Amino acid sequence: MTLIGFKAKNHPQQLFARGADRSRDELGTPRDLFAVLHRRFQFTVDAAALPYNAKLERYWTPDDDGLAQDWTGERVWCNPPYSDIEPWARKARLGGADLAVLLLPANRCEQGWWQREIEPWRDRQGSPCRVEFMAGRLRFLAPGAQSVGADERPPFGCCLLIWGSTPPEPPVDADGQHTPRGQSV
């Protein structure tokens, strides 16, 4: 895939010109990937979901406002709206969850929200914050779709932001398979 002529959607530079694209914010996590992550982390709530893309029986919709909910004692899964990631990263850091795992675009680590909410704690000795960069590129579920489409692969990789004290396990690739560090897909 070439990036010539590509116009990013919900990237901060485009939000000022076009506003948020809800169809991009509402892309769902691939089921196979979530199954692997749920076995690993045993989530109790999906913090940013809609009825058609929720991954758990317990989930918070925009009307419930996952940012306003009490995360204390929860094991939170969150695929946040990519048009406004910072408050979700802050909530993961400060929300009191036993564990919070966010699926984030891996191409934004130079941006202010990453530098404020993740970088000071990321992968530091004794820090509860880890980032796992995923091999390959995910194919997300379009709003209302039952399976991933060929055109649902964004031009960036993803990472998992993990706040909590769970033992590290091998990272997973875009297909939900464990991938040894250093091995590419």
The per-residue DSSP string of 79-107 comes to ---TTS-HHHHHHHHHS--SEEEEEEETT
Q: What is the CATH number of domain 23-164?
A: 3.40.50.150
The mean pLDDT value of the chain amounts to 79
CA–CA gap between residue 159 and residue 178 (Å, rounded) = 14
Q: With 50 as the cut, is the pLDDT of residue 40 above it?
A: yes
Residue 145's pLDDT is what?
A: 59
Greater model confidence, 71 or 143: 71
| Separation in Å, CA 76 to CA 5, 17, 70, 131 | 37, 33, 11, 16
Identify the pLDDT of residue 57: 97
Separation between Cα atoms, residue 124 and residue 111, nearest integer Å: 19
Looking at residues 42-52, what average pLDDT do you find?
94
Which residues, 6+ apart, have CB-to-CB distance to 93 below 8 Å? 117, 118, 121, 129, 163
The answer, yes or no, to whether residue 12 has pLDDT greater than 70, is no
pTM of the predicted structure, to 2 decimals: 0.75
How many percent of the chain have pLDDT more than 70? 65
Residue 116 pLDDT: 94
Question: Which pLDDT score is estimated for 39?
Answer: 95
Tokens, residue 10:
């919900």
Instruction: Give the pLDDT confidence score for residue 158 in this predicted structure.
Output: 86
For 129-182, the pLDDT digits (tens) are 999 998 877 766 566 656 655 555 566 788 999 999 655 565 666 666 665 544
Model pLDDT for residues 103-136, shown as the tens digit of each residue? 999 888 899 999 999 999 998 888 999 999 988 7
Sign of CA dihedral 40, 82, 31, 178: negative
Give the C-alpha separation, 123 to 131, whole Å: 7
pLDDT over 90, % of the chain: 49
